[in-house]
Amino acid sequence: MIAFGDAAGGTTAVGVYDLHRFTKVASIGVPSFPHGVLAWAPDQKSIACTLGDGAARRIWILKIETGVAIELPRPPGGDVPGGDLFWWQEHELAFFPEDEAPLTFDLEKLELGEFKESPSFKKLDDAGKKSWIEGPRLNWPEQTGWRLGLRTMVKSGIPPSRREPNSNWEFSGQTVFAFDHPKLPLGFGFKSLLANEGDRVLCSADGSKFVRLQNGQIEVTFMRKATCPEFIFEVDMPLPVEEIADLGPHNQIESKELCLLVYAPLRNPLNNATVGPDYKQVRALARLSEWKGRRAVFIVQTHDGSSMTEAIASTLHFWRLGSMAEWKPAITRKWWASINPSSAALPAKLPELESPQIFNLSQDSTSLLVMKAVKKTAPEAPRAIMEEDVKIFLSEHHAKASRGDVAGMMSDYDQRVDFLDKGFIPVSQIQAEEAEYRKKWHKGTEEVVGSISVINVSGVWKATYTISFSNESAVGDWYKGQADLSMTVKNEGGRLSITAQRALIFNVSSSKQTSAAPPPNPPAPKQPQGISSTVPKPYYISTTRVGDARPIEFTDQISFVKGITWHRTYLELAPDGKILNTCRAIYNGRVGVSQDRKSAQIYVGSQGWERKLGTPEFVRLCGTNAEAMVGKAVNFQFTQEGMVVPDQGISFRLQK
C-alpha cells in the first residue's frame, strides 16, 4: 500500500491505495495536510503523522480499516517535536528533530522520552544504534543482487568534421533510472523511465514496484524479472596491444578505463552491406577488461535494453573530468569491428569511470530525489601522499571491515597481493575467502590499537601496527584477540592500494574456552617451566593419544615452516594393532607469541581434509572431532623437549 496527501474529494485527507488490488482502500479526513513523512505502523493497519504548527502541533493516529483520525493530547511538559517521524516499535514513535536530540513518544503513556534511553534502542548493536542516530534510517533501496541508480546513457557520438579533425566529438544523452550491479560500476537502464530534475522516487524492497512522484502525480511501475543481457563481448582490435608503445594511453589500458561505443550498424542502401557505425544510434558504452594480442574483452558499462543484434564496436575513448577524450592514432579513427559473445567472467573489481552525469540521486528521509549533478572542474595539482594519508587509508580499511563492507575492503587491495602465508594471490581469491569467512562470523569489528608506524622505502610505504578484533556467529559463538600487522602500500597516481599483508595473532579468547565445562575430577597437570623460543622456525612437534570410546589413535603434528599447519591423523586399530581406517584433517592457524618468547597461542582458523580413506561412518566420526577444533585457541608453553599444553596435560616433542 501507499499513503499520500489526498485532495481528490475537495477536502484535505490522507489516502491509502492498495497496489495489489488497484483500488483506494481509505481516504481519512484530517484538518490539514501532514508534515513530512507518513509513518506506517509495524502491523500496517495505522499511520502516524503530525498536523499543525508550533504549539498547536499534535500527533495524529489514522486507522485505515475504520477511516478514523485520532488526535492525541499534547505530551505533558513538552511540545510535539518537529523533524522526521518513524513508527519504529509497536507502542513507540521516534522523532528526529533538527534542533535537539532524538526523542521517543510512548503510545501507551503518551509521554516523550530520550531516544537513547528507550529499552528497544539499548538492545540494538552498535551498527543499528549508529544508523538510527546518524542515518540513513531507511534503506534506499538496495537488496542482494541489485540497487537502484541513475545512468546517463550516451545516445549518439558523432566524430568531428573532416575539415576540423582535432575538434571535440558531439555527444548527446539522457539520464534514465537503472539497476546497478551491487559490486561493480555497471548498470542496466530503462528507456521508459527517464529521470527529470525534482522527481521523488520510492522503491519496494524486492524491486518489484518503482514509485515516482512527478508534478503532483504518483506513477507506479510494476517490474518483472528478466534475463540479464550479455555484458561481456570480444572484438578484434585495430592493432596488437604490444604495438601501442607510442600510440595509446597506457594508464587507461592498465587501469581498465579505456572505453569504446557500441553502435547500430550503418548499412549501404544500395546493397544492404554494413559499412561502419551509425553514429546517431549508440547502443551501449563498454570498457576494457582484457587485451591480449589483437583480441580484447570488453564489459558493458551502461546499457538501456536496446538490441545488440548485429551491433558493432568503434571509436576508442577514455574520460577526463567527465568529458570523453578520443584515442587519436590514425589507425583507430576509421576502425570498427563486430562484437562476439565472450565466456570470460566479470572481474572482482573495476574503478568507477569519471563519465558525464546529468543528474544524481540524493537520499533524504522520505525518498530519493533527482538533482542536477555537480559539474566537475579541473583539479588542483596532485598533492603528494604523506604519512598521515597512509594512516588514514589503513584506519578506514579496518573501519570497512567493521561495517561489513567487503567490496570496499577489496577495493583497497592491488590486483595481486602477497597475502599472509599464501604468497601472491589475486584479489578475487581474497574476496572469496572473506565471503566464506563471514558466512560463519557474520558480525565483526577491527580497531587500530595505539599508533600506526609508517616509513617510505624507495617510494613504497611500509606500515606496522596492532589491531584488536572480535567476531560473533549467528548462534552467539565469539572469539576475539589482537594482531600485529605489517602492510605494504603503493601509491599510483594518488590512489593507495595494499600490495602485501602479514599478521601475527595473539591474546585470542573465545566463547568455547570460557563456556566449556571442565571434565570431572581433572588431574592436576604438572606445570613445566617455560624456556625462551622463537616462532616460526622450521621444526615439527608431535604427540600421540589413544581414545577411550573406541580404539582410535590420534596423532597431531604442527609445522611452523610457512605459517601454521596442523595435521591431525586418525587411525582405527584392530585388537591386534592392525590399522583398519585412516583419515587426516588439516588446519590452518595463526600464532601469537608472548613477549618473553616462552609461550605461544595458536588460533585454529579453518579445517579441510587431505584424504578420506576410511569408511563413511568412520570419516563422519572423525569429522565431528575435527570440526570441534575450529575457532579454538590453544595455549602452548615451550620446553627443552618441545611444547606442552599445560591445561590439557599434552606434550609435543621437537622433531628437527
Q: What band does 127 get if pLDDT is binned at 50, 70 and 90?
A: confident
User: Is residue 545 very low, low, confident or very high in pLDDT (cuts 50, 70, 90)?
Assistant: very low
Tell me the CA distances in angstroms from 280 to 159, 219, 264, 590, one per residue in order: 10, 31, 8, 60
Least confident span in 47-56, 182-191, 604-613, 616-625 = 604-613
What is the C-alpha to C-alpha distance for residues 178 and 187, in angstroms, rounded to an integer?
6
The predicted model gives 281-304 an average pLDDT of 89
Mean pLDDT on 55-74:
94
Cis peptide before 646 (omega within 30 of 0): no
For residue 433 the three cell numbers come to: 575467502
pLDDT of residue 166: 72
User: What is the model's pLDDT at position 72?
Assistant: 95
The answer to whether the CB of 391 falls within 8 A of the CB of 454 is yes
In terms of phi and psi (left: phi > 0; alpha: psi -120 to 50; beta: otherwise), the region of 67 is: left
46 bridge partner residues: 63
pLDDT band at 602 (very low <50, low <70, confident <90, very high): confident
Report the distance separating Cα 471 and Cα 510, nearest Å. Answer: 9
Q: What is the pLDDT of residue 611?
A: 47
CATH (residue range 387-512): 3.10.450.50
Look up residue 409 and give its DSSP letter: H
Residue 17, pLDDT score: 93
222 DSSP assignment:
E
37, 36, 11, 324: which is closest to 158 by C-alpha?
324
Least confident of 190-199, 374-383, 470-479, 480-489: 374-383
Q: Is a pLDDT exceeding 50 seen at residue 99? A: yes
Residue boundaries of the structural domains of the chain:
2-134, 142-378, 387-512, 527-655
Q: What is the pLDDT of residue 108?
A: 94
- Work out the pLDDT band at 538, boundaries 50, 70, 90: very low
**Strand runs labelled E in 204-267:** 209-214, 217-222, 232-236, 259-267
Instruction: Between 16 and 329, name the one with better pLDDT.
Output: 16
Q: How far apart are CA 468 and CA 446, in angstroms?
A: 6
| The pLDDT of residue 58 is above 80 | yes
pLDDT at 89: 94
Q: Is the pLDDT of residue 610 over 70?
A: no
Band (329; pLDDT cuts 50, 70, 90): low
Residue 174, helix vs strand vs coil: strand
Give residue 508's pLDDT: 80
Nearest to 411 by CA among 317, 337, 503, 348: 348
Average pLDDT over residues 405-423: 88
pLDDT-derived band at 535 (thresholds 50, 70, 90) equals very low
pLDDT tier at 235 (50, 70, 90 boundaries)? very high
More confident residue, 250 or 586: 586
> Can you tell me the distance from the alpha carbon of 346 to that of 289, in angstroms, rounded to the nearest whole number?
9
State how far the Cα of 82 lies from the Cα of 37, in Å rounded to an integer. Answer: 11
For residue 369, pLDDT over 80 is answered with yes
Please write the tens of the pLDDT for every residue from 554-593. 777 777 766 677 777 777 777 776 777 777 777 777 766 6
Residue of 358, 407, 426 whose CA lies nearest to 171: 358
What's residue 110's pLDDT?
93
**pLDDT classification of 331: cutoffs 50, 70, 90:** low
Question: Binning pLDDT at 50, 70 and 90, where does residue 280 land?
Answer: very high
Comparing CA positions, the residue from 8, 46, 37, 361 lying closest to residue 216 is: 8
- Asked whether the domain spanning 387-512 has the same topology as the one spanning 2-134, the reply is no
Give me the pLDDT at residue 40, please.
Answer: 93
Over range 311-327, report the average pLDDT. 78
Q: How far apart are CA 352 and CA 342, in angstroms?
A: 22
Q: What is the pLDDT of residue 62?
A: 97
Q: Is 327 exposed, middle or buried (0-12, 13-18, 19+ CB in 10 A)?
A: buried
Contact present, 477 and 500 (Cβ < 8 Å): no
pLDDT at residue 377 above 70? no
The pLDDT of residue 457 is above 60: yes
Residue with the larger pLDDT of the pair 280 and 543: 280
* DSSP codes joined into one string, 515-567: HPPPPSS------PPP----SS-S-EEEEEEE-SSSSEEEEEEEE-SSSEEEE
Q: Place 422 in a pLDDT band, splitting at 50, 70 and 90.
A: confident
Q: Are 357 and 152 in contact (CB under 8 A)?
A: yes
Distance CA 619, CA 328 (A): 65
Among 373-382, 449-458, 554-563, top mean pLDDT goes to 449-458
pLDDT at 531: 55
Residue 367 pLDDT > 70, yes or no?
yes
Percentage with pLDDT > 90 across the chain: 25
* Confidence band for 26, pLDDT divided at 50, 70 and 90: very high
Domain 2-134 has CATH 2.130.10.10: yes
Q: Which pLDDT band, with edges at 50, 70 and 90, does 330 fall under?
A: low
Q: Say what percent of the chain tops pLDDT 70.
A: 82
When pLDDT is averaged across residues 296-315 and rounded to a whole number, the result is: 86
Residue 420 confidence class, pLDDT cut points 50, 70, 90: confident
**What pLDDT is stored for residue 612 in this prediction?**
46
Does residue 539 or residue 119 have the better pLDDT? 119
pTM attached to this predicted model: 0.53
pLDDT, position 393: 93
Please, what's the b/e burial string for 477-502 (b: 16 or more CB within 10 A of its CB; e: otherwise)?
A: ebbbbbbbbebbbebeeeebbbbbbb
pLDDT at 222: 92
Q: How confident is the model at residue 157 (pLDDT cuts 50, 70, 90)?
A: confident
- Can you tell me the distance from the alpha carbon of 564 to that of 422, in angstroms, rounded to the nearest whole number? 11
Nearest to 491 by CA among 458, 524, 516: 458
Greater confidence (18 vs 173) lies with: 18
**Average confidence score pLDDT of the chain:** 81
Q: What is the pLDDT of residues 391-413, one digit of tens each?
A: 999 999 999 998 888 888 999 99
| Set of cell numbers at residue 602 | 595458536
Question: What confidence score (pLDDT) does residue 496 get?
Answer: 92
- Is the pLDDT at 160 greater than 90? The verdict is no
| Contact in structure between 93 and 113 (CB atoms under 8 Å) | no
The whole-number pLDDT of residue 268 equals 94
DSSP-based three-state secondary structure for 508 = strand
Q: Could you give the C-alpha distances from 270 to 264, 276, 342, 621, in angstroms and in order?
A: 18, 15, 33, 78
Asked if pLDDT for residue 55 goes beyond 80, the answer is: yes
